Copies of this chain bind each other. A is one copy, B any other.
Amino acid sequence: MSDTTDILEMLSKGSITVEEAEKALRMKPFVDLGFAKPDLHRGMRQGIPEVIFGQGKTAEQIDAISESLLESGQKTVLITRLSEDKAALLKTAVKYYKEARIAAAGIIPEPDCKGTIVVATGGTSDLPVAEEAAVTAELLGNKVTRLYDVGVAGIQRLLSHTEELMSASVVIAIAGMEGALASVIGGLVNCPVIAVPTSVGYGASFEGLSALLSMLNSCASGVTVVNIDNGFGAGYSASMINHIGG
């Protein structure tokens, strides 16, 4: 029962004039007109996890937000960028993923859509970013296959997983240094590839700039890119795409 309805009914009943109604509407147009987010919110109440950015918040603050979300009907809550120390202090968290630096509160969901998301990395140093992507995707209800350390300098390691790659509905390609993994995978598969440059490297990698530019210039079609080290963003986008298929 929104304010707009109230105002209109008051106008309809003659309790207020047209001018008064017009002014009242003008004063709070965004609260009650119901565009944009409400659908999203509704969607979320139906089971899609809400996300709390853990960095810079105290354990108490996180618990408070987490509790209020769970009480409002949210089934799962993701807490990202969370140190192990802080995670140990959380009361609401039911599981902590150390590599991913993610905690989950509420229910750990089962996969709720058909497709599989493949998370591939160039090297073992890319693992924290990869786990952030993989755990995000899992907690958002996706099946995830991990293909780690399949960098292009040993192309046969990657090619030996052609079948997993070919059967994915989305691939997240994670690599630092020269970031070539995204292009090679983009050329092998038929599905969308989300590339995540990492800050792994030294010297002319310039904290991930090299991999970022490589991935943006990928000569393979179907490759899009997120920010350096943004495993969460890749997992979130991949989940969105994967759920389109039902």
Asked whether A71 is an interface residue with its Cβ less than 8 Å from the other chain, the reply is: no
Whole-angstrom distance between the alpha carbons of A209 and B222 in the complex? 21
Q: Does A228 contact B (CB under 8 A)?
A: yes
**Could you tell me the distance between the alpha carbons of A216 and B182 in the complex, rounded to whole angstroms?**
17
Set B12, B29, B234: member contacting A29, Cβ < 8 A: B29
Decide if the interface of chain A is mainly helix, strand, loop or mixed: helix
**How many angstroms between the C-alpha atoms of A91 and B114 in the bound complex?**
45
Of A92-100, A101-109, A198-206, the one with at least 4 CB within 8 A of chain B: A198-206
- The reply to whether A240 and B122 contact each other, CB–CB distance below 8 Å, is no
Given A154-B187, A227-B203, A31–B160 Cβ distance below 8 Å?
Answer: yes
Please give me the residue from chain B that is nearest to A160 by CB atom: B30
Q: Is the CB of A218 within 8 A of B187?
A: no
Minimum distance in angstroms from A155 CB to a CB of chain B: 6
Tell me whether B241 and A39 are in contact (CB under 8 A): no
A204 CB contact (under 8 Å) in B25, B26, B160, B212: B212
Q: A27 to chain B: which residues have CB within 8 Å? A: 163
Would B219 and A151 count as touching, CB distance under 8 A?
yes
Task: Note all chain B residues with C-beta closer than 8 A to A39.
Answer: 166, 190
Least CB separation from A193: chain B residue: B237
In the complex, what residue of chain B is closest to A161 when comparing beta carbons? B30
Known: A11-B12, A152-B187, A227-B204. A240 touches B214 (CB 8 A): no
Contacting pair A219 B25 (CB below 8 A): no
Say if the beta carbon of A89 comes within 8 Å of chain B. Answer: no
A233 touches B213 (CB 8 A): no
A33 CB contacts on chain B under 8 angstroms: 25-26, 29
Ordered nearest first, which 9 A-B pairs have the shortest CB separation?
Answer: A203-B228, A180-B180, A30-B156, A224-B224, A153-B187, A210-B213, A153-B220, A30-B159, A30-B160
